[in-house]
């Protein structure tokens, strides 16, 4: 099992390297102008050289993302718990929620800017509004899928709704919750960058916007690489937390794999 794991990782790493090598070779052989598609080596050099300038923007984007994410999680958990516990609330709220979630979030950025001016606030709000929906859905689903038999067993013992929620509902929801956190952190990131691109003078999104209007294409790509790196890092962090907290939900698969 261990050997397979290592080999799998080697293949993944190999594919990433192959991707960049192919890209580099493609640019070199076709003599592609770096105004259209810079070579990855150029991008990495630019990234390295301009890093001191990029750093405050990275911090800005990260802070905005995390802030929107934390607010989105708090709101999502609260709303998810309410609609997950009560069938009536679930049926009542769902159509409205679907309505909200299907609005493309790019469309709401101008409204946030109109209300709060350009800058950090609309970015936080965009991150929040984009990441909060998967959390609501997952919390609500987790709570709503408690086995009716177990609920009967506990109710017959005189358990209150709170007893059942605390002992069964919440722990059962944890895997759903952490799975949704992984999705939500990526979404929050997308939301923050989106808003920065449209209306802000700070953040990676803004750097890329400015760089592209100056035709500094390698810097645009450097921004893109930073975003990819940050996105992967955040995803990994939440995957690790998930593995620690809800290992029981995936342990079954490990045994089957052995």
Binding site for other proteins (CB under 8 A): 147, 149-150, 152-159, 163, 167-168, 171-172, 174, 246, 248-249, 251-252, 255
User: What are the start-end ranges of the H helices in 31-169?
Assistant: 40-49, 51-85, 87-101, 109-116, 120-144, 148-156, 161-164
Tell me how far, at minimum, the Cβ of 158 lies from other proteins, in Å. 4
Residues in the chain: 258
* Cα 200 to chain centroid, rounded: 21
> Closest CB to other proteins among 32 and 170?
170
> Closest CB to other proteins among 30 and 149?
149
Which residues, other chains included, contact 40 with Cβ-Cβ below 8 Å and sequence gap of 6+?
20, 23, 24
Tell me how far, at minimum, the Cβ of 187 lies from other proteins, in Å. 27
> Closest CB to other proteins among 59 and 150?
150
Tell me how far, at minimum, the Cβ of 249 lies from other proteins, in Å. 7
Q: How many angstroms separate the CA atoms of 124 and 191, rounded?
A: 8
Whether the CB-CB separation of 205 and 126 falls below 8 Å is answered with no
> Closest CB to other proteins among 15 and 251?
251
> Closest CB to other proteins among 30 and 88?
88
Helix, strand or coil, per DSSP, at residue 212: helix
Which residues, other chains included, contact 247 with Cβ-Cβ below 8 Å and sequence gap of 6+?
none
Helix, strand or coil, per DSSP, at residue 202: coil
Tell me how far, at minimum, the Cβ of 222 lies from other proteins, in Å. 44
Tell me how far, at minimum, the Cβ of 244 lies from other proteins, in Å. 13
């Amino acid at each position: 099992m261990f050997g397979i794991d290592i080999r799998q990782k080697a293949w993944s790493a190999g594919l990433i390297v192959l991707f960049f090598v192919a890209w580099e070779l493609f640019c070199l052989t076709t003599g592609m102008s770096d105004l259209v598609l810079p070579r990855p080596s150029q991008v990495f050099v630019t990234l390295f050289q301009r890093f001191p300038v990029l750093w405050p923007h990275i911090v800005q984007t990260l802070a905005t993302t995390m802030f929107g994410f934390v607010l989105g999680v708090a709101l999502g958990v609260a709303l998810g718990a309410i609609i997950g516990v009560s069938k009536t609330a679930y049926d009542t709220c769902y159509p409205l929620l679907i309505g909200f979630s299907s609005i493309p979030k790019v469309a709401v950025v101008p409204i946030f800017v109109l209300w709060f001016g350009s800058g950090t606030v609309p970015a936080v709000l965009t991150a929040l509004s984009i990441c909060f929906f998967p959390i609501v859905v997952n919390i609500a689903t987790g709570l709503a899928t408690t086995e009716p038999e177990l609920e009967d067993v506990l109710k017959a013992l005189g358990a209150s709704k709170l007893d059942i929620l605390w002992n069964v509902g919440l722990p059962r929801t944890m895997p759903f919750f952490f799975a949704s956190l992984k999705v939500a952190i990526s979404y929050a990131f997308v939301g923050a960058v989106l808003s920065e691109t449209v209306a802000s003078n700070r953040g990676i999104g803004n750097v890329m916007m400015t760089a592209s209007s100056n035709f500094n294409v390698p810097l645009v790509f450097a921004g893109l690489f930073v975003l990819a790196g940050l996105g992967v890092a955040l995803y990994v962090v939440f995957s690790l937390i998930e593995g620690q907290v809800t290992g029981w939900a995936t342990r079954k698969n490990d045994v089957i794999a052995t």
